[in-house]
C-alpha cells in the first residue's frame, strides 16, 4: 500500500466533489461531468491500492 497514492486519490476525489458542486451551483454541465469523472478516477485508484494490499497480504 502506498500512502502517497491513497492521499492523491483522496485529493482527486475531493477535487471532483468540489468541481461537481460548482457545476451544480452555476448550472455548468461540463463542470458536473468532469467532477464526477474525477470521483470515478479516485475510486479506481483506491481500488487498485486495495488490490495491491490484498496481493501483498497473500504473498506474506
* DSSP H stretches of helix in 1-60: 3-26, 29-59
pLDDT tens-place string over residues 1-59: 588 999 999 999 999 999 999 999 999 999 999 999 999 999 999 999 999 999 999 99
Domain ranges across the chain = 3-59
Q: What is the dihedral of CA 51, 54, 59, 60, to 10 degrees?
A: 140
Q: Is 2 left (phi over 0), alpha (psi -120 to 50) or beta?
A: beta
Q: What is the reported pLDDT for 46?
A: 95
CA dist., res. 57 & res. 52, Å (int): 9
Amino acid at each position: 500500500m502506498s500512502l502517497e497514492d491513497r492521499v492523491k486519490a483522496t485529493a482527486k476525489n475531493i477535487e471532483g466533489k468540489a468541481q461537481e458542486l460548482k457545476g451544480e451551483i452555476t448550472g455548468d454541465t461540463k463542470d458536473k461531468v468532469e467532477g464526477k469523472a474525477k470521483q470515478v478516477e479516485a475510486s479506481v485508484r483506491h481500488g487498485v491500492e486495495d488490490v495491491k494490499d490484498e496481493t501483498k497480504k497473500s504473498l506474506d
